[in-house]
């Protein structure tokens, strides 16, 4: 795993080199932190602690500042996600519509807990506060596809749909 991380981070060296950090002030280096973190997550799928330390070293800023940014913004992830990340809305409208039971059903069928990845790497489960689709409550988002008005009995069918895409894909 560490070798894979090292090779991916070396690929990012070119991007960081193009930013010409030698002529940038610390404030300017901090201002490009989010851009660099997006590139790291794009390349790795998440931002592990070793990658955060690497970014801090490259940008010559404290690693605590990198960690603070990664953990503050919800679009950054410190844990790997499945190929098909399942976001289950637990906002008020979705919760009232049974989202908690839907979440439990996904966890039971996939045999994983929140923020974990299935052994085959296909799925991960991520409860979220709001997906902005209250009119479709309860809502489940898998990758970029939104599934609205989901019922417990829909969960198996949804999982099968994504597994069949893998077999046919």
pLDDT tens for each residue of the chain, 169 residues long: 567 667 777 778 777 777 766 657 777 777 789 989 999 998 888 999 999 999 999 888 999 999 999 988 878 999 899 999 999 999 999 999 999 999 999 999 999 999 999 999 999 999 999 999 999 999 999 999 999 999 999 999 999 999 999 888 6
Per-residue pLDDT, 26: 75
> b/e map of 72-89 (b: 16 or more CB within 10 Å)?
eeeebbeeebbbbbbbbb
CA distances from 91 to 70, 81, 88, 116, 158 (A): 23, 22, 9, 21, 21
Given a contact cutoff of 8 angstroms between Cβ atoms, the answer to whether 94 and 138 are in contact is yes
Helix, strand, or coil (residue 131): coil
Which one, of 16, 68, 23, 22, lies nearest residue 39 by Cα?
16
The confidence score (pLDDT) of residue 6 equals 73
DSSP E strand stretches across the chain: 84-89, 123-128, 140-142, 145-147
Q: Coil, helix or strand for 144? A: coil
Structural domains of the chain in order of their starting residue, each with its CATH number: 2-72 (1.10.10), 84-168 (3.40.30.10)
User: How far is C-alpha 29 from the chain's CA centre?
Assistant: 24
Q: In the prediction, which pLDDT does 169 show?
A: 66
């Amino acid at each position: 795993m560490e070798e894979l991380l090292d090779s991916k981070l070396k690929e990012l060296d070119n991007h960081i080199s193009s930013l010409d950090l030698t002529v940038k002030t610390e404030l300017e280096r901090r201002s490009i932190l989010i851009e660099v973190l997006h590139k790291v997550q794009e390349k790795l799928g998440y931002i592990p602690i070793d990658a955060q330390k690497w970014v801090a070293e490259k940008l010559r800023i404290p690693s605590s500042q990198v960690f603070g940014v990664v953990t503050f913004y919800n679009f950054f992830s410190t844990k790997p996600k499945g190929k098909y990340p399942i976001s289950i809305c637990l906002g008020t409208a979705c919760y009232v519509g049974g989202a908690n039971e839907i979440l439990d059903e996904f966890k039971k069928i996939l045999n994983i807990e929140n923020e974990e990845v299935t052994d085959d790497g296909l799925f991960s489960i991520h409860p979220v506060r709001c997906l902005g689709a209250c009119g479709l409550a309860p809502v489940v988002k898998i990758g970029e596809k939104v599934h609205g008005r989901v019922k417990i009995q829909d969960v198996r069918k949804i999982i099968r749909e994504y597994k069949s895409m893998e077999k046919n894909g």
